[in-house]
Structure 1
Amino acid sequence: MTAHVIEEYGDPDVFTETTVATPEPGPEELRVEVAATSLNPVDYKIRRGDLPDFAPPFPATLHCDVAGVVDAVGEDVEGFEVGDEVYGMPGGAGRQGALADYVVGHAGTFAPAPDAIPLEDAAALPVVATTALEMLTDKADAGEGDEVLVYGGAGGVGHVGVQLADDLGADVTATGSTAEKRALAADLGADATVDYTTSDVEAYTAEHASGDGFDVVFDPVGDDHLQTAFDAVRPFGTVVTTESSSTQDLSAMHANSLSLGVVLVILPVLRGEGQARIGEELREIASLVDDGAVEPVVSEYYAFDEVADAHRRGEAGDFRGKLVLTRE
């Protein structure tokens, strides 16, 4: 089969197109003919060599997200048949990923694709949507009447977070660095938006939180944003994040009895156990998509042989929602 691989870590031009053996599914595995994948920060961090423990063996086929059609079913797999349209996150973390004609993964990392959107668009969802779902319903308990601050409300995880928080009945404030990004967050369900480049955390918290801060601060950005989250959340409130590798002053957590939740959705793939958690969350997300509560925003589509361009744009950050790569 054809795959776009890296033989070493490097810049976006390190990808090469090559022919590799078509993988065979083992017990409890599916082989999926790939329709599309999408770009997540973890993908270009692996490519650069920032996360060697997450990387597949060289020659490495990258990308966690996939949407496609089941091509073969391994032993001891129930609930999937050849020809099923599925989406999932089977690779990119020690396993070969989706930038190829076929990908093999544990059946627990897949679910039936949503009916309401094109199959290719479903590839935009797995990592970002499961992350947002875990942040709001597992690490936090966001619900009716809660005031939720979403950092990066037009970003990959953030744009799903806005929609999920709105569907849960929360009052949502979203940040964005441009008028275009703030407008998208508002269209997706944010009740208020903030230009964090011109307003400090004390000012927008006083304006948009009714009490001493937000009930939940949703941070898929990290670094300085994670630090300001401790200032934006109310006493006894919850901060949820995807980034915990930066150094932070945690004194506000003690002073205000805060909860901090950290999400790494690919952990079941890394550990090789508990993969059914991913599939269960993907089924819930598909139901939300089919009910009209969640819709992925795709800024641009790339062909697989344009993967270098997609990675360059991803690292530059000048887009909203997700970048999707389709296999032609």
Structure 2
Amino acid sequence: MRAQLLKSFGDTPDFQAADIPVPAVTPGHVLVRVAASGVNPIDLKIRKLRPAFAPQLPAVLGMDMAGVVEAVGDGVADFAPGDAVFGCVGGVAGLQGTLAEYVSADARLLARKPACLSMVQAAALPLVTITAWLALFDRARIQPGQRVLIHAGAGGVGHVAVQLARAFGARVAATVSGPEKAALAERFGAQDIVDYRRESVEACVERLTGGQGFDAVFDTVGGKTLDDSLRAARAGGTVVSINTRSTHDLSPLHAKGLTLSVVFMLLPLVTGQGRERHGEILRRAAALAEEGKLTPLLAARRFHLEEAAQAHDYLDSGQAVGKVVVEVA
């Protein structure tokens, strides 16, 4: 099968076209013919920084995908050949990625693709949707009517988080960096907009919550934004972050009795434990998509498998507004 192999780690995307064997169908897994592969910032970090969970070289990167089931292994009852599926299934140590014509995926990580979405749209959703769902519902446990602040509400994770929070009845505020991003966040359902370059945390909290603070704050950025999140949360509220590799003063956490939680959604892929939760989330997200409550924002440029390096460069450039997807089939 055709694939793109990463030959070396570093700032330059060193991909090479190759013909490699089709994966074997093993118990509990399904063989999927990949139609589209999503590109995420974590793919760039693996390529550049070689974290502990990076695959051995040469490697097929790519975590997200949408495609069609070709064959099922022993013990798989939920899928059959011909099913259109999507999921976040590989690209880390021990798991082949999705920048290839076929991938062997743990059936627990998959859900049926929403019929209302194209393969490209579906391939853009898994990682960001699972991340946002874990943050909002598994950790923050948001309830209808609660006030939720989502940082970078027009970003990859953020624009999905806005839609999910709205779908479950929260009052959603989103931070953005200008009018274009504000329009996007509003398009996806944010009721309150905060241009963080023009409005302080204190002013935002006073304007939108009467000085009480938000019930839940979702930090998708890290760094100073985590500090801002602690200041924006109400007493007894919850802050969830997906980027906490930094040092912070936790005095506001103590002073307000906050709960701080961290989401690292790749853990089930790396450890093999808890993978069924990812499939459950995607099934529920698919239902929301069918109801018209969840759709991805796609980047303007399209890429084919042979252009994997260009897709990485495009995402890395900061020019992409929306999710970058590589079409495989």
TM-score by length of 2: 0.96
Q: Which residue of 2 aligns with 1:220?
A: 220
Q: What letter is aligned with 1:58?
A: L
Alpha-carbon shift at residue 211 of structure 1 (Å)? 4.1
Residue deviations 1:94-147, cap 9 Å, x none? 111000011112110111011111122100010000111111111012122111
Q: Which residue of 2 aligns with 1:30?
A: 30
Farther off after superposition, 163-172 or 300-309: 300-309
Q: Which residue of 2 aligns with 1:126?
A: 126
Partner SS for 1:240 = strand
Q: Which residue of 1 aligns with 2:82?
A: 83
Alignment of 1:100-249 (within 5 A): 100-249=100-249
Q: What letter is aligned with 1:75?
A: D
CA distance in 1, matches of 2:140, 2:269: 23
Across the two proteins, how many residue pairs are aligned to each other? Answer: 327
Alpha-carbon shift at residue 13 of structure 1 (Å)? 3.2
Partner SS for 1:7 = strand
Q: Which residue of 2 aligns with 1:309?
A: 310
Asked if structure 1 preserves the Cα contact closer than 8 Å seen for 2:62 and 2:91, the reply is: yes
Alpha-carbon shift at residue 91 of structure 1 (Å)? 0.1
Residue deviations 1:53-85, cap 9 Å, x none? 222221110011010001121111111111110
Alpha-carbon shift at residue 250 of structure 1 (Å)? 1.0
Alignment of 1:22-101 (within 5 A): 22-51=22-51, 53-94=52-93, 95-101=95-101
CA distance in 2, matches of 1:44, 1:215: 33
Alpha-carbon shift at residue 266 of structure 1 (Å)? 1.7
CA distance in 1, matches of 2:13, 2:127: 24
Residue deviations 1:266-297, cap 9 Å, x none? 21111112211111111011001001111111
Distance 1:141 1:13, change over 3 A: closer
Asked if structure 1 preserves the Cα contact closer than 8 Å seen for 2:13 and 2:312, the reply is: no
Structure 1, unaligned runs of 5 or more:
none
CA distance in 1, matches of 2:215, 2:57: 45
Q: What letter is aligned with 1:216?
A: A
Asked if structure 2 preserves the Cα contact closer than 8 Å seen for 1:163 and 1:293, the reply is: yes
Partner SS for 1:279 = helix
Asked if structure 1 preserves the Cα contact closer than 8 Å seen for 2:86 and 2:113, the reply is: yes
Residue deviations 1:27-66, cap 9 Å, x none? 1011110000111111110111342x22222111001101
Farther off after superposition, 224-233 or 306-315: 306-315
TM-score by length of 1: 0.97
CA distance in 1, matches of 2:54, 2:214: 37
CA distance in 2, matches of 1:293, 1:32: 27
CA RMSD, 1 decimal: 1.2
Asked if structure 2 preserves the Cα contact closer than 8 Å seen for 1:115 and 1:290, the reply is: yes
Farther off after superposition, 84-93 or 296-305: 296-305
Asked if structure 1 preserves the Cα contact closer than 8 Å seen for 2:13 and 2:313, the reply is: no
Alpha-carbon shift at residue 181 of structure 1 (Å)? 0.9
Structure 2, unaligned runs of 5 or more:
none
Partner SS for 1:78 = coil
Partner SS for 1:194 = strand
